[in-house]
Structure 1
Amino acid sequence: MADFPVREVVNLPTLGKRKSRGDEDVRRRLGGPIHQERHVKVICVGAGASGLMFAYKIQRHFQNIHLVIYEKNKEISGTWAENRYPGCACDVPAHCYCWSFEPKLDWSAVYAGSGEIYNYFNNFAQKYRLDQYIQTNHQVTRAFWNEETAGWDVNVKDLSINTETNDHCDIFVNATGILNNWRWPAIPSLHDFKGTLLHTANWDENVDLTGKHVGLIGNGSSGIQVLPTVQPHASHVTTFIREPTYVSPVQGLEQHVYTDEEKKDFATKPDVLTDYRKRIETGLNGQFGIFLKNTSMNNDTHDYMVQQMKEKIREEHLIDKLIPEWSFGCRRMTPGVGYLESLTKPNVSVVYGEIERITPRGCICDDGKEYPIDILICATGFDTTFKPRFPLINPAGKNLQDEWASEPKSYLGIAAADYPNYMIFLGPNCPIGNGPVLSAIELQADYMCQLIDHYQTHNIKSFTPKKAAVEDFIAHKNDFMKGTVWADPCRSWYKSGQIDAPITALWPGSTLHYIEALGNVRFEDYEVEYNGNRFAWLGNGYSQTELDETADWAYYIRERDDGEWLSRRKRRQVLTKSGTVERREGVSFSGREESKL
């Protein structure tokens, strides 16, 4: 390396105490080249899909960063390690439930089981040696902002030996997700039941359902998957349903088991697999118009779904009870492979209404009857309130758990006002229910990396979304939601399990809309505090390029202008390969008209 003079920095002002980490950062910057990369410690909570993607991105793109991921479970993969109930699967086509750059060649079927998905994420972690960042059996119990160090003090419990330690980081990332804190139904006397009590997210694989009278509470995604799997083995199944929902595969995405020949083509002919993945993803991205009220796409899909449900249910008394009156899409679309057909099997009884209480023998419903059962399965989901799973204390001493108790308000689904150097995967109002969720996770990881890069190469003390920016985003979101089917009076986890409440789980737009919205960090929406003079990052006058003897020191001399496009439109056209796809007919986006992709 070439020798360049290092500027000596003396007489740096102090605050009357020992020099802080910020003072030391400024001193090093003034003595080094522009954009000098300081050491950064990052703590991430959770080693599910989001935590694994974050680890991959940090490993691929950064140096001089110390990353630690704390995972409360004994193993990684989050919800796919926890949910192993009979029939558990993803309700998104498997070839779209993998990273954009990391396809799986041998999915067994369109809707793959949880075991395959669990193996996919574990194999991903092993391939890229992500385990080096992860400490399993470690649960974060508390985090609070330390103003003196301008970072987060984090309490961590080692669940294997039941001891608690303290850690510290510059940047704190919450990747716990929303499908990890399962809950029992709020039914009186639930634990008075003397039979076997199960929850789909805490499944006991030693329980044998053969020949048993099984009760099933819930007709959400888990309940819809459980019934067809349990029904052939139980002597009888009584399924308790308190409200209707739309259940049927979306046209063109019905369940299909891939043949050996298909899987061979996927493995040996890359274009075949890529084209297939793109077709499915394009179809999913073309469905956004379904969620907008009074569009032909929504009306046509509603009519199709009702027709499909009637054909599969066939019994008029069930049709009247199970098909909703509210708009299709108000609750998450659920491909119910075999579910509706199971409802009419001879050994299945449907009890519609509320369960008033649980007895030692079974369930008493609002029809006054008691329904005796041997095993009670609660497919009642998770706490989807978006509150952190641990106290998170900001510089003002406020706890985000309390502030988000009634209505969580995030910045673009990725950060919170008044909580510096804190970032969230799959936070409130990002596309976790209206698009391919792994695309959103990748995007959020990229966005976080942009912030971390800026923080690492500048003398920044803290970055925090402005409260005004958050309030403006929430106001825009609320106004947009009025024109969507999600605002209909259905009970949905999009609205924290309520019928009439703010929509907190969805982005005000499509997945592609979110990708463009988060393509670049809007630093004008952030409060940024600096250590010392904000231009200390300019350093000693030398560039990073001059420190690299292998670099072209005249790289800007060219024969033609091949630089990056400076307008957003041009960059988007290159990125999306505009002009390479045949023009689609009948596509209109005037006002809130839908696409007919």
Structure 2
Amino acid sequence: MADFLVPSTASPETDAQHRRRGPIHAQRHVRVVCIGAGASGLLMAYKLQRHFSNYSLTVYEKNAEVSGTWFENRYPGCACDVPSHNYTWSFEPKLDWSAVYASSKEIFAYFNDFARKYGLHKYVKTRRQVVGATWNKQKGGYDVQIKDLESGQVIDDHCDILVNASGILNNWAWPAIPGIDKYKGVLLHTANWDEKIDLRGRHVGLIGNGYFVIISTQVRSSLTYPSSSGIQVLPTIQPHVNKVTTFIREPTWVSPVQGLEQHVFSAQERTEFATKPGVLNTYRKDVERGLNGQFGIFLKNTTTNNDTETYFRQQMSDKLKNPYLEERLIPNWHVGCRRLTPGVGYLEALGKENVEVVYGEINEITERGCRCDNGEEYPVDVLICATGFNTSFKPRFPVINASGANLQDAWAQEATSYFGIAAAEFPNYLIFLGPNCPIGNGPVLSAIECQADYMCKLIDRFQTHNISTFAPKAEAVADFIAFKDDFMKKTVWQDPCRSWYKGRPDGPITALWPGSTLHYIEAMMEVRHDDWDVKYSGNRFAWMGNGYSQTELDPTADWAFYIRDQDDDEPLSRGRKLQLINKSGTVQVAHAVSFTGRDTNAPPKL
């Protein structure tokens, strides 16, 4: 695009006037503030740097380093439940993952190396925590308050567009169990791990096999949400401690999906991934097809769900080899109601001689350990709370719009977003992994990528038009939520299990998208402008400028670019365009049926 740019100092009123003197689609300076330098925040920085000019960006990160949850979580056995070669950006493979399920240290290195490779650290200010954002009625955009965690000073910033990439799995919480402040032993939380503590030879208590209690400021809430940290910790520490007493409250499905079991890559495999053209890409595609083929697991009465439940039940029974534990740990609700976890080595560890399983509620924590609903007290030297995170979608700081409304209040009872990226009546505010996005529907990083692309399309339109505000229409959000609620009735997520996917066992599904990840990617390919409330500064056509095109301002461009020997235009219809994007016709059906395969109960093509 040519260099005629709307100045960054232009007010909404003068923006339209200035545009009349320049060509169509003149770029104005756009100031973006991004909250969080985890995976999503780093991707946003990468996308802006790659695709935009005449912008400024600051990414505020509360931690001392980038990578978000993968910097924070260092507990023994911490790993991702997504196969490692597919827990990467689609365009940025890693050649040397150690195993199918890689450690948090490896994942931290991947995202940190990604930031270093593309020079993204220059946008990031660490040890800075955003504590508030208020819409500025005079000049538009948000006044942002940031706390310097080193000095305690609160500094101010301003942006045209605010992007919340703070994530949902890094706001850790102690379990709301009475007496936790009385415990006199070593108290640890998996999300705030003290690496100086030596567990060898000690009696360790472990609370959690995937659930934790949200802490209310006034009462103990009954809401519980899953975290796989306890499932990962137990098999890691069991061989090294004197004894583990693990406190389990409820059953959960624990098993890798068939075909995606743990596997340590051999030196030969890693060499082939790194040196043989196409080997790694073929492997990644096969795994991704398998992950995308799992969506049928989440639909009731499908072949995929029924077969997976049979497989999981058999796997758990074979590994537990204990009728007492089988009866209590194998659920009676459908596979997938909670997030699935591979649970590498967990079930086997429960049967080890130095592991005691206590099933039921913990009534209180005493000075020595835990007192449970069976009346027994269980003393321990070290008490580990594998109790996860507060996964409320409410912002962790006030977000105030022009009318004075706070998004924290608007989402206090139920978080209702537009496609997981924006909130009605909160203009120029974008969210990664917001309510009802595909956080558990299939491959998650590919979903984050399409969110970033969608945001960039909105930012591009904002930059090249005299738009003052954009936000999803309230009626569009309401219709989306109604469609989502109706869709969820046929999913296993609707089962009466306690899950962070919903606020209560019988409550609405607030975390997940009403469809597969591939479904989400297709839904997000184009901006549905009719769903957005857009307001302009001045005449809405001021962006048309002085009558000149951008092409005429570029002396190196072909001013007759549309004259050619044949029609080589890209497809205009959605169907033909999608066939080009998804490379329709290039995959043999037999080759495509990987891992769980393609559900025979899938709906027919229309």
TM bucket (normalised to shorter chain) is over 0.9
SS in 2 for 1:495: coil
Instruction: Say whether residues 1:339 and 2:339 are aligned partners.
Output: no
Question: What's the counterpart of residue 505 of structure 2?
Answer: 499
Question: What's the counterpart of residue 123 of structure 1?
Answer: 113
Structure 1 residues 525 and 2: CA distance shift in structure 2, 3 A? closer
Give a deviation string over 1:470-501, Cα, whole Å, max 9, x none: 000000000000000000010101114x3221
Question: What's the counterpart of residue 249 of structure 1?
Answer: 256
Question: What's the counterpart of residue 295 of structure 1?
Answer: 302
> Which residue among 34, 37, 59 is the counterpart of 2:24?
34
8 Å contact from structure 1 (residues 413, 424) kept in 2 = yes
Structure-1 separation of matches of 2:3 and 2:411 = 54
> Which residue among 558, 569, 581 is the counterpart of 1:552?
558
Question: What's the counterpart of residue 160 of structure 2?
Answer: 170
Structure-1 separation of matches of 2:529 and 2:603 = 32
Aligned 1:46-445 pairs, distance under 5 A: 46-220=36-210, 221-445=228-452
Structure-2 separation of matches of 1:346 and 1:594 = 52
SS in 1 for 2:477: helix
SS in 2 for 1:335: coil
Structure-1 separation of matches of 2:497 and 2:59 = 37
**Which residue identity is paired with 1:407?**
E
Q: After alignment, is 420-429 or 247-256 more displaced?
A: 247-256
Question: Post-superposition shift, 1:47?
Answer: 0.2
Using structure 1 for the length normalisation, give the TM-score. Answer: 0.95
8 Å contact from structure 2 (residues 30, 463) kept in 1 = yes
Structure-2 separation of matches of 1:258 and 1:423 = 39
> Which residue among 525, 531, 540 is the counterpart of 1:519?
525
Structure 1 residues 269 and 181: CA distance shift in structure 2, 3 A? same
Give a deviation string over 1:306-325, Cα, whole Å, max 9, x none: 00000000010010000000
**Which residue identity is paired with 2:122?**
Q
Structure-1 separation of matches of 2:519 and 2:298 = 14
SS in 2 for 1:155: strand
Structure-2 separation of matches of 1:318 and 1:563 = 63
Structure 1 residues 3 and 413: CA distance shift in structure 2, 3 A? closer
Structure-1 separation of matches of 2:469 and 2:445 = 28
Give a deviation string over 1:99-137, Cα, whole Å, max 9, x none: 000000000000000000000000000000001111001
8 Å contact from structure 2 (residues 201, 240) kept in 1 = yes
8 Å contact from structure 2 (residues 231, 346) kept in 1 = yes
> Which residue among 466, 474, 479 is the counterpart of 2:481?
474
SS in 2 for 1:108: coil
**Which residue identity is paired with 1:505?**
A
Structure 1 residues 442 and 238: CA distance shift in structure 2, 3 A? same
Question: Post-superposition shift, 1:35?
Answer: 0.1
Question: Post-superposition shift, 1:147?
Answer: 1.5
Structure-1 separation of matches of 2:530 and 2:602 = 28
Unmatched tracts of structure 2, length 5 or more: 211-227
Structure-2 separation of matches of 1:295 and 1:544 = 53
8 Å contact from structure 1 (residues 486, 503) kept in 2 = yes
Question: What's the counterpart of residue 536 of structure 2?
Answer: 530
Give a deviation string over 1:529-582, Cα, whole Å, max 9, x none: 000000000000000000000000000001111011110000000001101112
Give a deviation string over 1:243-301, Cα, whole Å, max 9, x none: 00010111111111111110000000130000000000000000111110011111111
Unmatched tracts of structure 1, length 5 or more: 7-18
SS in 2 for 1:491: coil
Question: Post-superposition shift, 1:589?
Answer: 7.9
Number of corresponding residues: 581
SS in 1 for 2:370: strand
SS in 2 for 1:555: coil
Instruction: Say whether residues 1:446 and 2:453 are aligned partners.
Output: yes
Structure 1 residues 2 and 239: CA distance shift in structure 2, 3 A? closer
Structure 1 residues 147 and 583: CA distance shift in structure 2, 3 A? same
Structure-2 separation of matches of 1:589 and 1:475 = 26
Structure-2 separation of matches of 1:24 and 1:208 = 64
Question: Post-superposition shift, 1:583?
Answer: 3.1
8 Å contact from structure 1 (residues 2, 549) kept in 2 = no
Structure-1 separation of matches of 2:469 and 2:2 = 34
Structure 1 residues 469 and 3: CA distance shift in structure 2, 3 A? closer
Structure 1 residues 590 and 344: CA distance shift in structure 2, 3 A? closer
Structure-2 separation of matches of 1:386 and 1:461 = 27
Structure-2 separation of matches of 1:452 and 1:269 = 39
Structure 1 residues 394 and 3: CA distance shift in structure 2, 3 A? closer
SS in 2 for 1:330: coil
Instruction: Say whether residues 1:540 and 2:530 are aligned partners.
Output: no
Question: Post-superposition shift, 1:409?
Answer: 0.2
**4+ long deviations beyond 2 Å:** 1-4, 583-595
8 Å contact from structure 1 (residues 295, 593) kept in 2 = no
8 Å contact from structure 2 (residues 208, 230) kept in 1 = yes
8 Å contact from structure 2 (residues 2, 550) kept in 1 = no
**Which residue identity is paired with 1:176?**
S
Give a deviation string over 1:381-428, Cα, whole Å, max 9, x none: 111111101111111111111111121000000000010000000000
Question: Post-superposition shift, 1:24?
Answer: 2.1
Structure-2 separation of matches of 1:583 and 1:301 = 21
8 Å contact from structure 2 (residues 302, 601) kept in 1 = no
SS in 1 for 2:147: strand
Give a deviation string over 1:141-174, Cα, whole Å, max 9, x none: 1001112111100001111111111110000000
Question: Post-superposition shift, 1:72?
Answer: 0.6
Structure-2 separation of matches of 1:338 and 1:380 = 19
Q: State, as a whole percentage, how many aligned pairs show the same letter.
A: 67
8 Å contact from structure 2 (residues 302, 599) kept in 1 = no
Give a deviation string over 1:77-102, Cα, whole Å, max 9, x none: 00000000000000100000000000
8 Å contact from structure 2 (residues 303, 599) kept in 1 = no
